[in-house]
Chain A
Amino acid sequence: MSAKFVLVSRSNFMRQVTRACMALLAVLLFQSPPGHLAFTQSPKPPAQPVTCATCHTGLVAAYAHAAMRNALESPGQDPILESHPNLSVHLGGYSYSVQTKDGRSTYTVSDGTDSLTLPIRWIFGQHSQTWVLEKDGNYYESLVSYFKLEQGLATTPGDGNIVPHSLNEAIGRKISVWEVIQCFNCHATDATDEAKLTFDKLSPGLGCKRCHLGAEQHMVDAVRNNFTTIPKPLKTMTAEDAANFCGQCHRTWESAVRNHWHGQADVRFQPYRLENSKCFTGNDQRISCLACHDPHQPINTNLAFYDSKCLACHAALKTSDPSSLAKTCPVGKANCINCHMPKVELPGGHAAFTDHQIRIVYPGDPYPD
């Protein structure tokens, strides 16, 4: 289960930035005592605890709805489980039920004679979701997940070949501590400290500092009017850097190649697929992840929204700039990604993923692997 990037147009993005700047200005204007110098010479701790939202109000408000912010949910705060308090399915000789009551959710598996019930502590995914369960110090990826499309339970993607021989095995796929660390690193904030899981410090979803390293120091310093420790701006990353940065969780091209990952399942690794595209160039921001996606916003599902991104390179030649020499489409001028970034439905995936390997797709072409 991976967090999805959220989308916003460049103009929307700029509006967000402008709004954030205005919010910051407003905060400074209204929180500062008369005479800004007085504030800087004699700083007083603000009455309210300072958070990122103190200055970046609009950005933080928008991000609250983004997929990455909700990559992990705590029981009791999850609208899906709250609105589906009794989920059940029978699979492979075992019955599964997920019950939610009074803000607590449990995962029960039964073989008809015996049953095993575990508390759900970690909910991975915003719309469709999988649960990580703990039993006797071991961690398990739940063998069944909730799928938005069906509004019900089914086998967790990738676990279709598991044939449980006991209740314990029927809980789900036992995952190594390394995999647990990777899961939580990409779905939560402060979940790990090197090789140790730090659930006592964990906050669900990806908080600002998960991407913006140094955000905490910046908050401390900003209160004292010191803006020399602003985290490194990410929107100026090159396409190569952005793919590697986002690929920390969405998988980099190099990690996919090093690990010899193949098959349609790697359609979920968007940076890897994007870098396989003929048009990908590491120093061209027009093909950067961030050219199409604003991680602070919910994903934009309007295909036409992305046309301007494609046409940034593939529009009719207007200048002699060699970088603009990309071919124009002889077929259409709208909904580019409908043809050039086809959806791929994974077996048992209960969802279609956009293939980020941009290409000319001919009928009957196999999935380029």
Chain B
Amino acid sequence: MSLAPVTAAIPRGVSTSNQQKVAPWANSLAATGVPVFLLLVFLLAYPTPACALEPTSPFDDLASHATAARDQGNLALAIELYSRAEQLKPDWAEGWFYLGLLQYSSNAFPSAIDAFNHFLLIQPGAAPALALRGLSEFETGAYEDALRDLEQGVAEGAANEPRNEQIIRYHFAQLLTRAGRFEDAITQYQFFAAKHINNPDLQLGLGLAGMRVQALPKDTPAEDRAFLQSVGSAGYTFLSGDSDGAQKQFNQLIAGNPSSPELFFFYGVLLFSHSPDLAIDQFRNEVALAPGSPYAHAMLAYSLMIAGRYVEARQDAQRALAVAPDMEMAQIALGRSLAEQGDTQRAAELLNQVLQRDPDNLEAHMGLAAIYSRSGRREDAYRERKVCLGLAQ
């Protein structure tokens, strides 16, 4: 199995001849079993430039020749002509986009970033440019910038084009893992499992996210790779819908690595999305293995809360908060737990603490809605429910 080639719909006036070039990330993937990728060509949502039709000025002439050079696959000449055209008309958005795209295709990532910077000043929030700048930043090692751009690009719809989705999500998932946003990373890897796209790189990436290792696959020590791939494989099996197969794989992993932290936790996180009840046992095992882990206690408390087992949730939420007093998940679990046990004042305080830091926290608003509803504050409950419905849109 391998990642599918990543291309995009060809915009009007853009030749396909330059698809002979191979982007560097494609080379790196190819070297690890992923087939060679074609040039990433993003659809630009504006029409073919007028200059391509009838040159009437030096700028139009340069732009026309740049387009022709690009169509002929002469990337070096196209880059030079686009650069000169931009000197004449720095607000030419399309020129900056193609300049960035061509430089990205030529492995000139710092120059590509610069071109996309110009483009995004003219067209802020343009999803294809954000994604391409993010991928360029990834190659230069500017991982925080890459994460920001890819996240915004995905939010703006950059991954909606099926042929671009794989490469964007793969890099986005790696960056999320590196940033410690493991659950978000797993969500991105789920896309591949749902489409039965599998390979050792994806397994390694998913294994890192599952075992909560803040690292990129390329930086993973060789001696750790086999184990992490096995973990990723078990996770992939689960995400692809084979729960029995995943259970067997996880049981084998746990039997072979009984004291390895995070294995129970990873399995619990996977189960949680289908059944918080089933996840509870896994988080309990993790807590037994790592009693000092606030995450394990918080997830256990949170799962118990979702399952409506509020009394049990309280203790683990308190344990998590003893180590990490600002952990939102534990505050919400404790707040809901206290509310169900009658301490609505302390419960509301905790939930409002969460909302002070994160005003759009859905669970905190849901908790307040429940508190107000139970205490007969109909108008307040209705207001909070409306907020929740708005957040859930």
Listed stretches B62-70, B182-190, B270-278, B288-296; interface member: B270-278
Given known pairs A177-B243, A240-B374, A258-B362, the reply for A281 and B381 (CB within 8 Å) is yes
Given known pairs A178-B275, A254-B366, A276-B389, the reply for A281 and B243 (CB within 8 Å) is no
Give the distance in Å from the alpha carbon of A102 to the alpha carbon of B389 in the complex: 51
- Provide the residues of chain B in CB contact with A257, threshold 8 Å: 362, 366, 388-389, 392
Mark out the residues of chain B between 137 and 173 whose CB falls within 8 Å of any chain A CB in the assembled complex. Answer: none
- Provide the residues of chain B in CB contact with A194, threshold 8 Å: 277-278
Given known pairs A195-B278, A257-B389, the reply for A281 and B362 (CB within 8 Å) is no
Shortest B194–chain A CB gap in Å is 11
The answer, yes or no, to whether B378 is at the interface (CB within 8 Å) is: yes
Mark out the residues of chain B between 247 and 281 whose CB falls within 8 Å of any chain A CB in the assembled complex. Answer: 247, 271, 274-275, 277-278
What is the size, in residues, of chain A's interface with B at 8 Å between Cβ atoms?
Answer: 24
Given known pairs A176-B243, A253-B385, the reply for A260 and B374 (CB within 8 Å) is no
The answer, yes or no, to whether A244 is at the interface (CB within 8 Å) is: yes
A179 — nearest CB in chain B belongs to which residue? B274
- Provide the residues of chain A in CB contact with B247, threshold 8 Å: 195
Shortest B113–chain A CB gap in Å is 35
Q: Mark B354-393, 1 if CB is under 8 A from A, else 0.
A: 0000000010001000100111101001100100110011
B308 touching A176, Cβ below 8 Å:
no
Q: Mark A170-189, 1 if CB is under 8 A from B, else 0.
A: 00000011100100000000
- Provide the residues of chain B in CB contact with A283, threshold 8 Å: 373-376
Q: Mark A270-291, 1 if CB is under 8 A from B, else 0.
A: 0000011011111110000000
B392 touching A240, Cβ below 8 Å:
no
- Provide the residues of chain A in CB contact with B124, threshold 8 Å: none
Q: Mark B227-242, 1 if CB is under 8 A from A, else 0.
A: 0000000000000010
B373 touching A280, Cβ below 8 Å:
yes
The answer, yes or no, to whether B224 is at the interface (CB within 8 Å) is: no
A323 — nearest CB in chain B belongs to which residue? B376
- Provide the residues of chain B in CB contact with A278, threshold 8 Å: 378, 382
B374 touching A176, Cβ below 8 Å:
no
- Provide the residues of chain A in CB contact with B366, threshold 8 Å: 254, 257-258
Shortest B99–chain A CB gap in Å is 39
B393 touching A262, Cβ below 8 Å:
yes
Give the distance in Å from the alpha carbon of A284 to the alpha carbon of B275 in the complex: 30
Shortest B182–chain A CB gap in Å is 20
The answer, yes or no, to whether A238 is at the interface (CB within 8 Å) is: yes
A177 touching B373, Cβ below 8 Å:
no
B376 — nearest CB in chain A belongs to which residue? A283
B388 touching A281, Cβ below 8 Å:
no
B378 — nearest CB in chain A belongs to which residue? A281
B381 touching A282, Cβ below 8 Å:
yes
Given known pairs A257-B366, A276-B389, the reply for A178 and B274 (CB within 8 Å) is yes
A259 — nearest CB in chain B belongs to which residue? B392
Give the distance in Å from the alpha carbon of A350 to the alpha carbon of B378 in the complex: 36
Shortest B267–chain A CB gap in Å is 11
A244 — nearest CB in chain B belongs to which residue? B308
Give the distance in Å from the alpha carbon of A75 to the alpha carbon of B376 in the complex: 47
* A279-B378, A281-B376 known, 19 other contacts, Cβ within 8 Å: A177-B244, A195-B247, A240-B374, A254-B366, A254-B370, A257-B362, A257-B366, A257-B388, A262-B392, A275-B373, A276-B385, A276-B389, A278-B378, A280-B378, A280-B381, A281-B373, A281-B378, A282-B375, A283-B374
Cβ contacts A to B, 13 pairs, < 8 Å: A178-B274, A181-B275, A194-B277, A195-B271, A238-B374, A240-B374, A258-B362, A258-B392, A281-B381, A282-B370, A282-B375, A282-B376, A284-B376
